[in-house]
Chains A and B, each alone.
Chain A
Amino acid sequence: MSTATTLIPAVPLVPEEIHPDVALVARAKEGDTAAFEQLVRQYDRQVFRVAQHITQNREDAEDITQDAFLKAYEKLDQFQGNSKFSTWLVRIAVNESLMRLRKRKTSKTVSMDENVQTDEGSIPRDFADWSPNPEQQFGTAELGEILRKTIQGLPPGFRTVFTLRDIENLSTEETAEALGLSVPAVKSRLLRARLQLRERLSRYFRQNKNEGSKP
């Protein structure tokens, strides 16, 4: 039997995993439009969904998706890779969406702070179970209509946080970074957004619907 000491390498043999977007972004920065096209394919649905959730307008969402990718392409040099490319892209899409909301409501200021002070609907009042679950109670089309109508009623500041955090699955920190908010502000808005949505959805999904407030 060999008495040689087993050598333990000082550095791990498996390198830290690099996100595939890093290589695509590097190629796109060097003028490879096919690489950027791949990024468009990967994230166009997500950018469109974010824009549609925030603006609640299909044409606006289509324009914003185009503008966000074009802006990202023009500013690729400014992307340092400190965050994920998708988070950086979503941040551009959120800014474009909020700008579009401001333009639409010329006489009113729309910002991440609008209506976020209200606690209306954030204090639970409906304590009925949802059984059977929403998917069992409604067909796809009807359920989609309920979900669209309900999220539309949330203030933009809450809707945006809920969209990024719960629908797009960004972390609290990524959401804070994308929106220029503090982590406690994101947490506070997320709680109120979730509770307000829950309260409103309960009108449709609660057991013994006739006993509660009607939608």
Chain B
Amino acid sequence: MTCTDFLSKLTDYFDGQIGAELMVEVKHHIAECHHCHVVLDTTKQTIEVYRDNEIYEFSPELQNRIHTAIMTRCRAVAK
């Protein structure tokens, strides 16, 4: 497996959609190629750091304001 082959399988790897045979090849490549090992690890960290950190504030005040506006508009439509 080349580094390009590995990259093309990266999305399927994260999605757990790689067959057993190909998985052996991928694991073998990662064990041999430090660059691809780093790419795999840091891409995984990229996904996790965005998933685990709420980067846009959604304060209770903002939530209340939005909630009130939505329900006022919906009730007006319902009449």
Residues of A within 8 A of B (CB): 31, 33, 36-37, 40-41, 44-45, 48-49, 52-53, 58, 61-62, 65-66, 69-70, 73-74, 124, 127-130, 133-135, 140, 143-144, 147-148, 151, 162, 166-167, 169, 172, 187, 190-191, 194-195, 197-198, 201-202, 205
Contact = CB atoms under 8 A, between A and B. Distances in A.
Given A73-B77, A128-B38, A190-B11, 13 more contacts: A33-B75, A40-B70, A48-B62, A65-B66, A66-B66, A124-B39, A127-B38, A129-B41, A143-B53, A148-B55, A151-B50, A166-B47, A201-B46
Interface residues of B, number: 37
Nearest to A171: B15
A127 B39 contact: yes
B71 A40 contact: yes
A30 B35 CA distance: 58
B41 A74 contact: no
Contact of A73 (B42, B66, B67, B74): B74
Contacts of A162: 50
B35 A62 contact: no
Nearest to A206: B42
B15 to A, nearest CB: 7
Contacts of B56: 48-49, 52-53, 58, 61, 148
Provide the main secondary structure of the chain B interface. helix
Contact of A166 (B51, B55, B73, B75): B51
Chain A CB within 10 Å, residue with most, of B35, B69, B70, B71: B70
Interface in B48-69: 49-56, 58, 62-63, 65-67, 69
Given A127-B38, A133-B45, A151-B50, A48 B71 contact: no
Contacts of A58: 56
A134 B54 CA distance: 14
A44 B55 CA distance: 16
